[in-house]
Amino acid sequence: MALVPTSDSTGSALISEVDMGASDPSSVTVRATVVQASTVFYDTLATLDKAERLIAEAASYGSQLIVFPEAFIGGYPRGSTFGVTIGNRTTRGNEEFRKYHAAAIDVPGPEVDRLAVIAGKYKVFLVMGVIERAGYTLYCTVLFFDSQGQYLGKHRKLMPTALERIIWGFGDGSTIPVYETPFGKIGALICWENRMPLLRTALYGKGIEIYCAPTADAREVWQASMIHIGLEGGCFVLSANQFCRRKDYPPPPDYEFSGVGEEPSPDSVVCAGGSVIISPSGVVLAGPNYDGEALISADLDLSEIVRAKFAFDVVGHYSRPEVLSLTVMDQPQHPVFYTSVAKVEKQ
């Protein structure tokens, strides 16, 4: 695993505990790491073991906040169609989904418990991309853990992209959290959700300061989106992507890449990474990295947020609520309601 040096060359001290009564809360610095690594596909236990090794390594370099890629646990099924064409599904595709469903995790569940223990063991705030199993529906989800080993909650991807919609359910407005931490307010949107202006605005409205963007998009144009969000939100942006080769997935015929022409060779790069950390002024602090698996780190000086907001505060002095406003439907949406249960709850 390559370690990409942090952007801070001043030797500034990192926080271990923050005095929440300090007169200047913006004077905090936190070391953050985005993990660029591949899932062990179809092997959730091995992926959890790999995650712990990476967290331990990042913590040994002083990292206090660690962000993993989209779908790190459970896997991003790159190149698969699950046997779906319009008007038809295949027996083989159905079996492929069964295996993918088996690799997902329940939230809460034993894998979530283990991640909480890991976060507490290494004293890190952890943001982890998972595939969540809720009955027979899967969700692309981000889980949040604090440095005391507590599971805080989750964000479910609101809008899966393209063929993702055949394998993942849609999140709702009840899982768009922003968490208060000793080093700022943290939240996350997943991959192309970050291109949805109103969804970004929902996070800005909650005061997000460290904006996590787990993704599966390794294109250069993704970097422009990350820089724009840093500038627009006046926040730090931490984008983590997997770096994968064909051999990180099961070999054919157990797993086949569709729609890419000839089957890739085992060493072919199928996701090139591009993980990056951006400042509130749009400066690239670390990355983007396209060279392989890596831990990409930077020291985040929260006073930069104040300076950036002085010029542009998108939900503050630069807003015009009498002209433009946003209403977020943040209650859970359920397909079935039982009035008898509601009556019992009222008693």
pLDDT surpassing 80 at residue 252 = yes
User: Do the beta carbons of residue 78 and residue 270 sit within 8 Å?
Assistant: yes
For residues 208 and 192, give the distance between their C-alpha atoms in angstroms, rounded to a whole number: 18
Report pLDDT digits (tens) over 24-34: 766 789 999 99
Confidence of residue 344 (pLDDT cuts 50, 70, 90): low
Fold designation for 2-16+25-346: Nitrilase/N-carbamoyl-D-aminoacid amidohydrolase (3.60.110)
**Closest to 289 (Cα-Cα) out of 246, 225, 245, 240:** 240
Confidence of residue 264 (pLDDT cuts 50, 70, 90): confident
The one-letter amino acid code at 91 reads T
Instruction: Please tell me the least confidently modeled range out of 109-123, 189-203, 210-224, 331-345.
Output: 331-345
Per-residue pLDDT at 1 = 60
Report pLDDT digits (tens) over 161-193: 999 999 999 999 999 999 999 999 999 999 999
Per-residue pLDDT at 9 = 33
Confidence of residue 4 (pLDDT cuts 50, 70, 90): low
Q: Which two tokens stand for residue 32?
A: 């953050």
pLDDT surpassing 90 at residue 300 = yes
Per-residue pLDDT at 289 = 96
| 40 phi-psi bin (left φ>0, alpha ψ -120 to 50, beta other) | beta
Per-residue pLDDT at 339 = 87
Instruction: Please tell me the least confidently modeled range out of 10-14, 168-172, 205-209, 313-317.
Output: 10-14
Mean pLDDT, residues 199-221: 97
Confidence of residue 346 (pLDDT cuts 50, 70, 90): low
CA-CA distances (angstroms) from residue 336 to 39, 133, 298, 308, 333?
Answer: 35, 19, 46, 46, 9
| All residues at 6 or more sequence positions from 17 whose CB lies less than 8 Å from its CB, including other chains | 182
User: Do the beta carbons of residue 104 and residue 74 sit within 8 Å?
Assistant: yes
- What is the percent of the chain where pLDDT is above 90? 80
Per-residue pLDDT at 341 = 63
The catalytic residue positions are: 70
To 10 degrees, what angle do helices 110-122 and 44-60 make? 10
For residues 92 and 97, give the distance between their C-alpha atoms in angstroms, rounded to a whole number: 9
What pairing do the DSSP bridges indicate for beta strands 65-67 and 125-134? parallel
Per-residue pLDDT at 155 = 98
Q: Which two tokens stand for residue 203?
A: 């996070």
Domain ranges of the chain: 2-16+25-346
Confidence of residue 23 (pLDDT cuts 50, 70, 90): low
**Closest to 29 (Cα-Cα) out of 58, 1, 75, 62:** 62
Between 331 and 4, name the one with better pLDDT: 331
For residues 155 and 141, give the distance between their C-alpha atoms in angstroms, rounded to a whole number: 6
Q: State CA 242 to chain mean position distance.
A: 11
Is the whole model's pTM more than 0.85, yes or no? yes
Q: State CA 163 to chain mean position distance.
A: 19
